[in-house]
Structures are given as C-alpha cells and as structure tokens.
Structure 1
Amino acid sequence: MNSKTIAYGILRALGIVVGVVILLWFLYKIQSILLYITFAAVISLMGRPLVLFLKKRLKFNNSLAVIFTLFITIGLFLSLFLLFVPIVTEQGQLIGEIDINEVGDDLDQLNQEISDYFNVKKLNFVELIKQTDLMEFFDLKAIPEAINTFLSGFGALLIGLFSVLFISFFLLKDSKLLEKSLMVFAKSEDETRFMRAFNKIKDLLSRYFVGLLLQILILFILYTILLLIFGVHNAIAVALIAAIFNLIPYVGPLFGGALVLILATTSNLGLDFQSIILPKLTYILIGYIAIQLIDNFLNQPLIFGNSVKSHPLEIFLAILIFGALFGIGGLIVAVPFYTAIKVIAKEFLSEYKIVKQLTKEL
C-alpha cells in the first residue's frame, strides 16, 4: 500500500467525519422544523382512517375529506383548550377574591387537624415562607422580559400550529408523499422491501394512535364519573387533564393522581379534615387506583397489543428501556419506535432467529 492510497484513505475518512458533523449540526439547527414534521405525521396517521372512511363510505373527494378531517382535529384541540378555561378562570377569581386572613386560618386549621390525626409535629408555614424568601421572585425589572418572552413564545406557537396544519394537509392529501420523501434514502435493490416496511409501519402506527385516542376517551369517561360522584370542582376538565397524563406510561398516572387529589382537597378547603376531607380523598384514591388497574390489565393489552401486534411484556420492556435511555420523552415514543424497529428488522434481518421470534405476529 503506497503513500497515495494511505493519504486518500485518511482524507476520505476525514471527509466522512466532517460530513457527519455538518449533517448533525444541520439537523440540530432545523430541530423545530423536524418537530413540526413529526407532529404532522402523527396527525396524518391518526386522521388517515377517517379520511379513508369519508372517501369510501360517504363518497367525499380526497381534498374535501382531508379538509373535513383537519377541521375535526382543530375542533378537538380547541375543545381541549376550552376545557382548561374554567379551571384557569376559577383560579383567577379565587385569587382576586382571596382573603389572606381567612386562608391563613383555613390552612392553620387544616395543618392542625392533619398533625393531630397523624400524630406528627405541626409545621409552621409562616416560618417556612420566611425561610424561602419568596420576595426574591417578585423582581419588577423582570416583568418586561417576561412579557417579551410570552409574546415571542405565543408567536412561535402560532407559526408552529400553522406549519403543522399545512404539512398535515399535504400528508393526508397524498398518502405517498412521506413515502416518496423517504425513498431517496433506500438503495435501488431494497426499494421493494423498504416500501413494504414503510406501509406496514404506517398501518400499525395509525392503528396505535387511534387506540391511544380510545384509551384516553375511556379513561376520561371513568375519571369524570368518579369526580362527579365526589363533587370535585370542574370535574370534566380535571378528568381530561388526568386522562391526558396517561400518555406518559407509568409516570403519567402518578402525576394525574396527584393533581386529582390536590384539586379535590382545595375544593373542600375549610371543611373538617378527619370527618370530610380524608374520607373523600380516600374514596377518590381507591376509585382512581381501580380505574388504573382496569386500564393496565384490560385497556392497554387489548388496545395496544392488537394495534401494534406486540406482546404486553414486549411493550413493557420497550417502555422501560426507552425511558432509561431518553427519560420522559423516551416513555412517550417507546411503542411507536419499537414497532418501527420490529417491522424494519423483519424486512431486512429476517434470517436471524430472534427476529423471527419477535416478529412472527406481524
């Protein structure tokens, strides 16, 4: 091997490294655009069954079916936003009408009752507040900066919303658009297998996201019934928020349960803790746990196991692994990514025994 060959090899390797670095830098710079495309792809996968239904059953043309689907999607998100309004409005009114002395007496009474019931030392909230030095957070100089941050964030939200809807429209209108865009990365001899894998992934993930919506709907109905029975304020909105928390596997239900218990407590602030608040919280907690058991042992295995054709143990392990690697975000994307990996492995690595065993149901 002469010196020219060695120099060529070094330069080639260096060029590959530089190219990879530039590509990663470019992807980092356009990460917001990639996020828009990802959200649009999810919306298109969720809306795909509705578009097909409108075209085949109701004889809509393609563009009208897509527009109708997007209007329904916008309506759902708008409904979610409007359900949050009562909570925000009520909390704003409570803050405006708050009586510091009365609230202090209520908190002190609640603190005393909790301390007596559990036989623990009473906490001095006044001293705790003094120690935290909350006045440091009320810096008037930070108000203009906070307003500018809010306005820029609101503008970015509007741009992002328009971008997602615009991209979603074309992905729904032309179901082959995303496929054609990804085909540029496939070798000519692998195009058939690539297309087969892509169509399988698209079908499975479409069913998965529809199943996810069904899970949230079932939980929302059950939570609403539970909270209405025990008279929690804004039961419908609180139930919806708790149901949405379930999008985060395992961790989400804990946050949702904590939110439900906190709002149930504030709804009864000033009442006797031992005879009213504690029994009500206990019954709500029992009901919440029962609903989670129904979801874990009935909803999820039936909905997700059938939609992505994976064993519940596979899904559980995939969620744990992705969560350990990528945190909360990994928990959310674990099932879709694992499903895509399985389909790709079946198409390109089917000669391995472990791949055959894991993908035999696909």
Structure 2
Amino acid sequence: MITSKTISNGILRALATILIIGIVLYFLYSIQTVIVYLCISLLLCLLANPMILFFKQKLKFGNSMAAATTIILFVLLLVGFIFLFVPLIISQANNLSLLDTNQLQSQFMETEQSIEAYFNIQHVDLNKVLKDSKITSMLDFTYFTGFLNSIINFMADMGMGLVSVFFITFFFIKDQDNFKTTVREILPDSNEDKIINSVIKINHFLTRYFIGLLLQLTVVFILYLIVLVIFGNKNAFVIAFLCAILNIIPYLGPIIGTILAALLTMISLIGQDFRSEILPTTIYVVIGFLVVQAIDNNISQPIISSKSVNSHPLEIFLIILISGITFGIVGMIIAVPLFTMVKVILKEFFPDNKIISVLTQRI
C-alpha cells in the first residue's frame, strides 16, 4: 500500500538524484579544460603508437626514452607549423593595414571592367553602387592588425595548455602498460574481457585509420604542390599544405580548398593582365585541383574509409552525411572514428543480435 511516507521518500530520492546529477554535471563543466587536455593527450597517444612501437622494437628504446623522443617530435612539428604560417600571416596583415582604400577601389573597378570586357557583360556602374552604399568608408583595415594581436595573445594564453597536454601525454605514453593493468583491476569481472577486447580493437582500427589519413593528406599535398608549381604560384608550398589539411573535412574540405587556392592564386597575380594571365592561370589551377580530387576520391579515400576501418563506402558516406547534418563540420571529421568505435563495442557486447551481426560482419 502506497502511503504518504512512501511518496515523500520517493520524491526525496528523486530530488537527491537530480541534485547529484546536477553537481556532477557542474563539476564536469568546471573542469572542462582539463577534460579537453585529457582527450587531446589520448588522441596524441593514439597517433604516437606507431612511432612508439618503432622506437621500442627497432631502436630498442625504453619507455621513458620512447616517450621523450615522441614528445620532442610533436614539439618540433608544432614549432615547424608555427614558423611556416606566422610570418605569412603577419606580412599579409601588415599589407592589409597599410592598404589604401582608394587604391583598392580603383583596382576593384579595373578588375570589374576586365571581367565585363572578357565575358561581354552589360556594364554595371559599380563605382556608383559603391559610393551609394558607402562601403569604402566603412572599410577599416586596421581591424586586421588588431585581430592579429588578439590571435597572438590567444596563442600566448594557450602556452600553458600546450605544456599541460605534452606533460600528460608523456606520462600516458610512458606508463600506458601500468594504466592498462590498473584499469584491468578496476573493471568488473563479468565484462572485463569484453571491455579490454573492445579497447584493443578500437586502438587497432583507429591507428590504421589515422595512419591512412596521414598518407592520404601527404599524397594530396604532393599533388596540389605539383599543380601550383607548374603554374608558377609563389606560395605553392603553403597553399598546398593548407588545402591538403582542409581535406580532413570529408567532401566539403576539398571544395573549400579549391576555392581558397583560386582566390590566393588570383591575389598572387594582381598587377598582371586579367585576360591573358590571371583568369587562365586560375582556371588551370582549379582544373588541376579537380583532377587531384578525382584521384583522391576514387583511390585514396576508398582505401582509407573502407580498408582501414573495414566499412562499406556507402556506409561511410551515409554516416558522414548524417553527422554533418546533425553536428556540422566537427561531426563530419569525427564521424568515421566514432562510428568505428560504436561498431566495435556493439559487436563485442551484442554479438548474437542479427542486425548488429550484419552491420559488423567486416570487423
């Protein structure tokens, strides 16, 4: 029989549960920075696994030496990345801050007239449109230098974060065997083998995926670089690197990279004849990038998406599409690794389910 005391006790337990959940969520929110550091460190450990195995098996390094060498390589890679892009950003920001808006308007009008002459377009008085809209009076290129300063300050604030991530990563790499032993002791005996097998398989598949992804980006970078060098782009290395990095974003990244390459190519050719130099060179670069993307889409991506994680290409496409619609660009980037993790866990814990058995038959 339900009494008022039973009801009150139930309400109190429910309120206590809600309160505890709220406290836990608030605590997690308060330490979200630390959680981010841990996640980044775990990802770096995953990426570092092939290097660590090489150091231990081929070079006979101990745990500490292998961990220290790996961290040094990560730091050198980060420093190289900074030295590659910061001078370029600073020089472009300085150029924009010193740019004369009247000169910009004049160059814009010349470009507009060249486009009209080349494509035989009916004349549109853009000069009058600009004056009526007062766009040039609103342009303030000193904003770019302020924006650059804010980026520099942000990078300085991130210094402590980088030190923390590398510190955590060092001990994750160095003591990963001890961590595995500790986790094994904590896990419940009934599901211990399933959890450990899931972690081993996930680590295996994601390691293969990230190695394949790095290989794909390297191939795309080399092909982009060849295209840009052939057509005499002055910043071929940097542009090819940026566009290759954008390929991390499935399907959408190559499109953004092609547009970026076209714009930067046109900017690098400012001052030359539009009809005979700027437009043809830009078209050739775009065609070259489209050829590279055709090679990547038909050779590199199927190998990585299908072979490395043992999933059908259509399956991968649908997962990326759904993740992109639901979570945007971030969802597209993490779709394949996350989907692989879910498949491994489902197969390990529910191997007799018919639907799961069909979906995970390649794993």
Normalising to structure 1: TM-score of the pair? Answer: 0.89
Give the Cα separation in 2 of the matches to 1:227 and 1:279: 13
Q: Return 301-310 or 123-132, whichever deviates more.
A: 123-132
Name the counterpart of 1:161: 162
Question: 1:7 Cα shift?
Answer: 3.1
Report Cα offsets for 1:123-162 as digits up to 9, x if no partner.
525743773656667699x99x979965752343101111
Name the counterpart of 1:59: 60
Local SS of the residue matching 1:264:
helix
Name the counterpart of 1:215: 216
Give the Cα separation in 1 of the matches to 2:200 and 2:213: 20
Size of the aligned set, in residue pairs, is: 361
Q: Contact 1:319 / 1:330 at 8 angstroms: preserved in 2?
A: yes
Tell me, yes or no, if structure 1 residue 113 matches structure 2 residue 114: yes
Name the counterpart of 1:282: 283
Superposition RMSD in Å: 3.0
Matches within 5 A, 1:204-243: 204-243=205-244
Local SS of the residue matching 2:232:
coil
Q: Contact 2:306 / 2:312 at 8 angstroms: preserved in 1?
A: yes
Distance 1:225 1:125, change over 3 A: farther
Name the counterpart of 2:133: 131
Matches within 5 A, 1:327-342: 327-342=328-343
Give the Cα separation in 2 of the matches to 1:36 and 1:180: 23
Distance 1:296 1:55, change over 3 A: same
Give the Cα separation in 1 of the matches to 2:273 and 2:141: 38
Question: 1:17 Cα shift?
Answer: 2.4
Distance 1:327 1:95, change over 3 A: closer
Q: Which amino acid aligns with 2:77?
A: L
Give the Cα separation in 2 of the matches to 1:343 and 1:185: 21
Give the Cα separation in 2 of the matches to 1:228 and 1:104: 31
Name the counterpart of 2:43: 42
Q: Contact 1:86 / 1:234 at 8 angstroms: preserved in 2?
A: no
Q: Return 303-312 or 293-302, whichever deviates more.
A: 303-312
Q: Contact 1:242 / 1:257 at 8 angstroms: preserved in 2?
A: yes
Q: Which amino acid aligns with 1:128?
A: L
Distance 1:22 1:105, change over 3 A: same
Give the Cα separation in 1 of the matches to 2:158 and 2:106: 42
Name the counterpart of 1:9: 10
Report Cα offsets for 1:195-247 as digits up to 9, x if no partner.
11111111211221222211111111111111111111211011101111111
Gaps of 5+ in 1: none
Q: Which amino acid aligns with 1:206?
A: T
Q: Which amino acid aligns with 2:357?
A: K
Question: 1:185 Cα shift?
Answer: 8.3
Q: Which amino acid aligns with 1:263?
A: L
Distance 1:147 1:335, change over 3 A: closer
Report Cα offsets for 1:263-313 as digits up to 9, x if no partner.
100111122222222211111111111111111111011123222121111
Give the Cα separation in 1 of the matches to 2:186 and 2:130: 59
Q: Contact 2:223 / 2:292 at 8 angstroms: preserved in 1?
A: yes
Q: Return 66-75 or 238-247, whichever deviates more.
A: 66-75
Question: 1:329 Cα shift?
Answer: 1.2
Name the counterpart of 2:357: 356
Q: Return 269-278 or 323-332, whichever deviates more.
A: 269-278
Report Cα offsets for 1:309-345 as digits up to 9, x if no partner.
2111121111111112211111111111111111110
Q: Which amino acid aligns with 2:320?
A: I
Give the Cα separation in 1 of the matches to 2:86 and 2:151: 18
Q: Return 177-186 or 306-315, whichever deviates more.
A: 177-186
Gaps of 5+ in 2: none
Question: 1:77 Cα shift?
Answer: 2.1
Q: Return 73-82 or 56-65, whichever deviates more.
A: 73-82
Q: Which amino acid aligns with 1:61?
A: G
Name the counterpart of 1:82: 83
Name the counterpart of 1:175: 176
Q: Of the two structures, which has the highest relative contact order with CA contacts closer than 8 Å and spacing of 6 or more?
A: 1
Q: Return 59-68 or 77-86, whichever deviates more.
A: 77-86
Q: Return 181-190 or 156-165, whichever deviates more.
A: 181-190
Q: Return 156-165 or 91-100, whichever deviates more.
A: 91-100
Q: Return 99-108 or 76-85, whichever deviates more.
A: 99-108
Question: 1:101 Cα shift?
Answer: 5.7
User: Percent identity of the aligned residues?
Assistant: 39
Q: Which amino acid aligns with 1:335?
A: V
Give the Cα separation in 2 of the matches to 1:84 and 1:125: 35
Q: Which amino acid aligns with 1:122?
A: V
Name the counterpart of 2:190: 189
Q: Return 145-154 or 159-168, whichever deviates more.
A: 145-154
Normalising to structure 2: TM-score of the pair? Answer: 0.89
Q: Which amino acid aligns with 2:133?
A: Q
Matches within 5 A, 1:230-269: 230-269=231-270
Local SS of the residue matching 1:189:
coil
Name the counterpart of 1:122: 124
Q: Contact 1:249 / 1:332 at 8 angstroms: preserved in 2?
A: yes
Give the Cα separation in 2 of the matches to 1:70 and 1:239: 26
Distance 1:24 1:65, change over 3 A: same
Distance 1:78 1:13, change over 3 A: same
Report Cα offsets for 1:73-95 as digits up to 9, x if no partner.
22222222222145325425644
Question: 1:120 Cα shift?
Answer: 4.5
Question: 1:257 Cα shift?
Answer: 1.3
